[in-house]
Amino acid sequence: MASENVRQAALTLLSHCHERLALKFGFELWDGTRIPGDWDEGALRLVIHDPSVLGRLIRRRRIETVVEAWSARQVDVIGGDLFDMVAARPEGKSRQLIAKLDKTLMAKALLRLALGRSGPDRGDGLAGRKALVSGSTAEAIRHHYDVSNDFYRLFLDQRLLYSCAYFTDWANDLDQAQHDKLDHICRKLRLTEGERFLDIGSGWGALVIHAAEHYGVSAHGVTLSEEQFALSRKRIAEKGLQDRVTIELKPFQELDGTFDKIASVGMFEHVGFANHAAYFKTVRRLLRPRGAYLHHAITRKGRATDRAFHKKPPEYRALVKYIFPGGELDHIGWSARMLEAHGFEVHDVEGLREHYALTCRFWAKRLHARMDEAIEYAGEPRARLWLAYLTGCALTFERGGAYLFQTLATRRDKGPAGLPPTRADFYR
């Protein structure tokens, strides 16, 4: 049981913040006390289920504390979703907002919360988690993708595409935008009948199936996820495409042979800087001279120096720790540099930041609407973690905190690139 001192300190602190900052959302304490007290049941509010959270946030002011508390449902949002809560935040810079508060009152309340007895710190199953060495390992891939196919069906489109959609119209729904993404990639690669096409990190098989069905290629995909591998093979059989589409459960570095076109869509983020050179050398080895390669990847903002770029902000470290173990994001300048350094000629770079912001917003909204089922499939901590992750990604891309680019390159060779004089064929 939380002490009365802790409850009174929380009530004083949150009531003061609500009044001075004119907050558009309220609070609810673990005993049902609401701030303001006259707010309706359906009003937007932050609920504190576990009083130990307040002291922990004061003593351990890190994003991991917030993530762990949210995942354990020690805090929650009622009367809306995380997007609503962010939209309701007070306007102004942090320094301006803090200046509106009574510093003496705040200090006394915070001290009482930090030192007060509030019951056992329950933890949540996420504390102490360590990132794996490399996001490209099978263990890391299974951590993210082998939650369960049923879980991903709750919020992805009907084809189960877990990468940025392509909105030819901002009013399009997710299924249409993901179909258009597949077609956009195939047109960029200028796939033609009879060509050999490789999809590195083929997911649940949507791109290889689309390319074979609509462009007549012989398509091959590789994945490290057993769940994705099994469903991909099932889908290929249902389509009767076994003679033109194949999937392997293996690292793409172990592939042999030569392909006319290669795509990597949302996979490169798992590779890690230490493996970039080996990655591009392998792509080049598998691609015929002047064969086309499409590189679709999330990036961070470039900085003035490499040292400044590799200094990772807290949000980025939390993402790697909880969601993408071992993953690393480069910047678009590094992508182009590595392509050129390893035998490629870059022809086109398209920024899709706003497309990915809208994609993630679709995913987060759909997952929020089916949270009961998500908890059944993945457990409450992981379902809530994924909801926070998808919401955070949507907001990050909306605000320009991260980017996503599709880069089209060919394996360098002497003479003409063999491409049309304009890009009109894939921007139709």
Q: Which residues form the catalytic set? A: 393
Q: Do residues 110 and 29 make contact, with C-beta atoms less than 8 angstroms apart?
A: no
Cα gap 164→354, rounded to integer Å: 10
Answer yes or no: are the C-beta atoms of 177 and 156 closer than 8 Å. Answer: no
The tokens describing 270, both together, are 């798992």
Sign of CA dihedral 394, 396, 400, 403: negative
Q: DSSP letters along 5-18, please?
A: HHHHHHHHHHHHHH
- 367 token code pair: 């997952």
Distance CA 248, CA 58 (A): 49
CB 75 within 8 A of CB 69: yes
Residue 333 corresponds to which tokens in the numbers above?
């300048």
Distance CA 323, CA 325 (A): 6
Distance, in Å, from the CA atom of 361 to the CA atom of 365, rounded to the nearest integer, reads 6
- Check if the beta carbon of residue 294 is closer than 8 Å to that of residue 265: yes
CA distances from 297 to 144, 356, 380 (A): 17, 11, 29
Residue type, 383: A
76: β partners: 47
Report phi then psi at 339, rounded to 5. Answer: -60, -50
Residue 347: partners with Cβ closer than 8 Å, 6 or more residues away: 408, 409, 410, 417, 419
Contact 213, 186 (CB under 8 A): no
Q: How far is CA 227 from CA 94, 132, 383, in A?
A: 44, 20, 18
Give me the residue label for tokens 């690292």: 251
Residues in the chain: 428
Contacts of 392 (CB under 8 A, 6+ apart): 315, 319
Q: Are 207 and 184 in contact (CB under 8 A)?
A: no
Return d(Cα 235, Cα 265) in angstroms, integer.
19
Q: What are phi and psi of 123, to 5 degrees?
A: 70, 180
